[in-house]
Amino acid sequence: MFKRNFWMKPVFILVLSAQLSGLCAQEAATGQQQVFTGVYLMNLYDLNVNEYSFYADFYIWFRWKGDRDPSGIEFVNSVEKWGFTTEMFSEEPKELAGGWMYNGMRIEGRFYYPFALNRFPLDKHELVIQLENTDYPIDSLIYLPDTSRFLMREDFVIPGWEVEKAETASHTNAYSTDFGEPTGARSAYSNFTFLIHLKRPLSYFALKLMLPLLVVILASLGALFIYPSYIDARISLPIGGLLSCVFLQQSYSSALPDVGYMVLMDQIYLLSYLLIAAVILNVMLSGNKAATKDGMNFKGLYNNNKRLAIYLFTGYFLGIALLIFL
């Protein structure tokens, strides 16, 4: 009797340990698997504002513990999927120290981004690349940003743009549809997002857009510094400035998509048209006075026109400042 109890205790302990291990393994298999995800951007090109898209070439990798393979991904904002190229690091995940699994891929493809151009040409954008797993919802698998500090090449540039920074983020994307399954429940997936913050350089606004416009405005205001009796010379300057403004506005508008709102530069040109219209109206009124009053002393009228030119330019400058900073 003593011998039988002596041998049964170790057997009972082994059976109990096996059952507990099985329960722990089952709980780990059914719990949420964390996947640490990193990105390294190599190139970003063909940034097309008119087609709301861009091409990106980057590496992406995964580190995880568990049996679920996180490499079965779908890019939410991808377009032209037939042109995507994907090259895996290895056919099978690599096992690292501490029970970690590792794999990754290099991706090159085209992505969609809805450019908001209401602040053009001082607009800022956050280009995004979003991915989700096609097999496991968020209660089974979640993507978390890796701790890597380097998200793009050190010499990475986008011609015509200033790259401010890049970052990664993770959130839940809940679909408000059952995808046509009568008994299907609404599903939520872990959405991993890579963001590139960029803006247009200030020199583009100051030198390429504002400088020619300011020259036209100053030339139009120059009509008020011509003696009122020279009506032909006075009227030609604002009329020429008006035509120049129209052509300058068309030159940048042709590079923008058709949008249903006025961008910042359109508002500045609207202010310019109002100023030129005020100059033309003043020239016409001064010309009428000169034609109806023979022998009139135009010195007082000439001084009033010069003061008006200063007031108009000051108001124009303040108006632009309000449009930019408000």
| C-alpha atoms less than 13 angstroms from C-alpha of 237 in its C-beta half-sphere | 23
Quick one: pLDDT at residue 9?
Answer: 46
pLDDT means over runs of 10, the chain (326 residues): 44 40 43 95 96 97 95 94 93 94 97 96 97 94 89 93 95 85 79 97 96 97 91 93 96 90 97 97 87 70 92 97 94
Distance CA 277, CA 281 (A): 6
Quick one: pLDDT at residue 296?
Answer: 61
Distance CA 183, CA 50 (A): 42
Which tokens hold the place of 60? 């992406």
> What structural domains and CATH numbers belong to the chain?
32-200 (2.70.170.10), 203-325 (1.20.58.390)
- 152 secondary structure, DSSP code: B
Query: What number of other Cβ atoms are within 10 A of residue 179's Cβ?
Result: 8
Residue in the structure block whose two tokens are 């009122």: 228
Rounded to two decimals, what is the model's pTM? Answer: 0.84
DSSP secondary structure string, 49-96?
Answer: TTTTEEEEEEEEEEEE-SS--TT-EEETTEE-GGG-EEEES-SSPEE-
Polymer length of the chain: 326
Closest CA to 319 of 213, 200, 202, 223: 213
Distance CA 142, CA 203 (A): 43
Quick one: pLDDT at residue 163?
Answer: 96
Specify the 3-state DSSP secondary structure of 307. helix
Quick one: pLDDT at residue 229?
Answer: 82
Contact 218, 189 (CB under 8 A): no
Closest CA to 161 of 20, 293, 44: 44
Tell whether the torsion through CA atoms of 3, 8, 13 and 17 is positive or negative. positive
